[in-house]
Structure 1
Amino acid sequence: MLNFTIAKYTDMVVFYILQRISLKDQVYDYLKKAIMNGELVSGEIYSEQFFATNLNISRTPVREAILQLKQENLLEIYPSRGVMIKPMSFEELKKILQVRIAIEGYSAMYLARNIHKEDAQELLSNLEEYLNMEKDVKNRKEKAFEFMRADVDFHFGIINYTNNEYFVTTIQTLRSRIERVIFKSLQKDFRMGDAVNEHQELFECIKRGDEHGAFASFQQHMQNTEELLSTINFD
């Protein structure tokens, strides 16, 4: 009887923990989308209670989600006041793109150089799947968030193949800022279609083992992104 009681109590604790984690993740996804799509206004301070009230939940999962978004450099916390979207300038954007060219450009070359290997061929299949996901939603602007996720997975797959923890850690640190840059660019008409074409070109260079072509293709992809975003207000 005692063992049954302990087991039942343990199950309840596990259920509570999983439920709490799930709720925190849901709040995180909601807030991240709200930041990306402009639902949360830059320059305005929001309280934990504001989100808790609007989502009809307690403040604990809200606080946990906010802390994660702060770690990802998407939010700034002002004690006793609330949170604010962390601003992004065009100068910061250019620095992020420079980092991406240095790391992802090399990673694309590395993958092309090793494309004959079995694990590279497996990755190539995954990259093609991400491309197909992008093609499925490229003409639907309301699916920009889903497109962004496939876009990020496409690029991160290439970086991860290098098995260079310094590359991976650097890009992971910038991940949410990169996602914000991508999402912003996708608000421009025809950008999703253009991005698919640029990804397809990069994919083909890698597939045929063209190292220099892969680097040049990715560099042009970033230059196109910079040119496009020079016309966008990040506030």
Structure 2
Amino acid sequence: MKFITKLQRISLKAQVYEYLKQAIINGDLKVGEIYSEQYFADKLSISRTPVREAILQLQHENMVEVKANRGIIVKPLLLDEIKKIIETRLAIEGYSSSILAKNLTTKEGKNLIYLLEDNLSKQQEILTSSDAYYKFMKLDLEFHHAIVNFTNNNYFSEIIKMLRSRLEIATLKSLHETNRLNDALNEHYLLVNDIKSGDSQKAFQAFKFHMQKTLEIMEQCYDT
């Protein structure tokens, strides 16, 4: 019974986390305003424990700042932080792309290429859907996480998961405001093609190009 209760609590914490995260991304929670744990507990009709646990995860992802005895503040995402995230992504994901290029002939490598190409087909299909931006962002996350996970390096995977979560606001904003969907998809195709060439340097450079274009677009959307 205790085990079931623990599972239920973990599930509730995950739901609260997703609720708060989406509220931040959508702008429902305003940057700089203070929100108490009790405010969310009352709003969701739950205890403060899962709220507190969800807030701690958001704090770990640098999305909120916890003020002792006051509550939480949504942290602004500034261009300087975006640049640092892009630099870190290049180091980890560029390396991961080169590792995949070197291991194309393995069973794992072949399977991943199949999954990446299937993901690209889905990206292509949703371009004209009504909620294309949200669907594309989800597929984009799956695409990039799959390449990083290929390294079997849990540290890489956890770091990228955290950074991508923090970057979701900027990702959605840049996709929507600049209509970047087609360009991002083409860059994904280029990356997969260069990985399939088996040339690790070409794979790294393709990912570097993707990050350079991503940063250029985000610079258009954000002030310093």
Per-residue CA distance 1:17-60 (angstroms, 9 max, x = gap) = 33222221111111111112222111111111222222232222
Shift, 1:173, TM fit: 4.4
How many residues align? The count is 224
Q: Could you state the TM-score of these two structures normalised by the residue count of structure 1? A: 0.84
**Deviation beyond 4 Å, 4+ runs, structure 1:** none
- Matching residue of 1:207: 196
- Matching residue of 1:5: none
Q: Out of 180-189 and 216-225, give the one that drifted further.
A: 180-189
Structure having the higher Rg: 1
- Matching residue of 1:67: 56
Matched, 1:222 2:208: no
Per-residue CA distance 1:152-185 (angstroms, 9 max, x = gap) = 2211221222234553354344242233432332
Matched, 1:102 2:87: no
Report the AA paired with residue 112 of structure 2. Answer: L
- Matching residue of 1:19: 8
Structure 1: gaps spanning 5 or more residues: 1-9
Superposition pairs for residues 29-108 of structure 1, below 5 Å? Answer: 29-108=18-97
Per-residue CA distance 1:107-156 (angstroms, 9 max, x = gap) = 21221122122110111122223323323333346353343232122112
Q: 1:168 aligns with which of 154, 157, 171?
A: 157
Shift, 1:78, TM fit: 0.7
Structure 2 CA distance, aligned partners of 1:79 and 1:234?
30
Structure 1 CA distance, aligned partners of 2:139 and 2:51?
26
Shift, 1:84, TM fit: 1.2
Residue 36 of structure 1 contacts residue 184 of structure 1 at CA under 8 Å; is this kept in 2? Answer: no
Give the SS at the match of 1:83.
strand
Structure 2 CA distance, aligned partners of 1:80 and 1:179?
29
Give the SS at the match of 2:105.
coil
Residue 178 of structure 2 contacts residue 217 of structure 2 at CA under 8 Å; is this kept in 1? Answer: no
* % same residue: 47
